[in-house]
Amino acid sequence: MLLAPLPFPRASLVGKWAILPTGACEAHGPHLPLDTDVRIATAMAEAAAERADGRVLPPVTYGVARFARNFPGTITVSAEVMTALVAEVLVSAHEAGAAGLAIANGHLEPENVNALFAACRLVKERTGASVAFPHVGSKRQAERLSAIVPFDGHAGVYETSLLLALAPRLVRGHKKLPAVEADLGRGIAQGADNFEDAGGPRAYFGQPALATAHAGRRLLRELASILVETMENSRR
């Protein structure tokens, strides 16, 4: 059986924004697929590309995912590998004539985010080009997204709402899941390096039962706006 073609842009990158979605292959509770972050990042990139004359590159589907390492299906790479891969892809896009470079990231594990920032610095050193990379887990962006639903860390109402909007058939049993009151961010600040120690024994936090597709569509529009604004600011 032939594989489906990759969603690679047929048009040239010359003069366009090259937007690279990045995610992870990791457990997202019992109700969401392993590629949740990839799906969110790709949708964010596609929505931004429509607004900003961009081309969406095929996504990086693995990331630094050590917090979920004890759960089946999770695959992690080192920070060094993540930095090197993302930097190489963006340098190549720059050499292919892209007028701007951007990352749409759906995987917010701190070490992964740091690896992406390191990739941005490496691209700058090699090419002189800046990379537009909004960290949607930062305090400012998280507060912005929290105006729609609670930004509850991992596989909660935030990510579940997005998946209900993007791939509802892949969301299973979220309505029956009890709320997890543990704060993932606080757990990380206190030294936890896995979901269990942070208070999420089933690899989710928050209240996925409250998720809706309507909220997911609003979140996607806001994510695209955050990315487009960052792209515009990077050119000033």
Model confidence at 22: pLDDT above 50: yes
Q: What is the pLDDT of residue 234?
A: 87
- Confidence grade of residue 7 (pLDDT, cut at 50, 70, 90): low
- Say which range, 4-8, 73-77, 168-172, 180-184, has the weakest mean pLDDT: 4-8
- Mean pLDDT, residues 9-24 taken together: 88
Query: Which residue type sits at 227?
Result: L
Query: Which residue type sits at 14?
Result: V
- Mean pLDDT, residues 47-57 taken together: 96
Phi, psi of 90 (to 5 degrees): -70, -35
Model confidence at 86: pLDDT above 90: yes
Model confidence at 4: pLDDT above 70: no
3-state secondary structure of 100: strand
Spatial distance between the Cα atoms of 59 and 66, rounded to a whole number of angstroms: 20
Q: Are 151 and 142 in contact (CB under 8 A)?
A: yes
Q: What is the pLDDT of residue 10?
A: 52
**CATH homologous superfamily for 17-234?**
Creatininase (3.40.50.10310)
pLDDT in tens, 119-178: 999 999 999 999 999 999 999 999 999 999 999 989 999 999 999 999 999 999 999 999
- β strands within 38-159, DSSP E: 54-56, 100-105, 131-132
Q: What is the pLDDT of residue 235?
A: 79
Model confidence at 5: pLDDT above 90: no
How many Cα neighbours within 13 Å face the side chain of 25? Answer: 10
Phi, psi of 146 (to 5 degrees): -70, -10
Model confidence at 3: pLDDT above 70: no
Give the whole-number percent of the chain exceeding pLDDT 70. Answer: 95
pLDDT in tens, 182-234: 999 999 999 999 999 999 999 999 999 999 999 999 999 999 999 999 999 98
Beta bridge partners of 60: 22
* Nearest by Cα to 136 from 219, 211, 47: 219
Q: What is the pLDDT of residue 1?
A: 38
Helix (H) and strand (E) counts in the chain: 7, 4
Q: Where are the domains of the chain?
A: 17-234
- Confidence grade of residue 11 (pLDDT, cut at 50, 70, 90): low
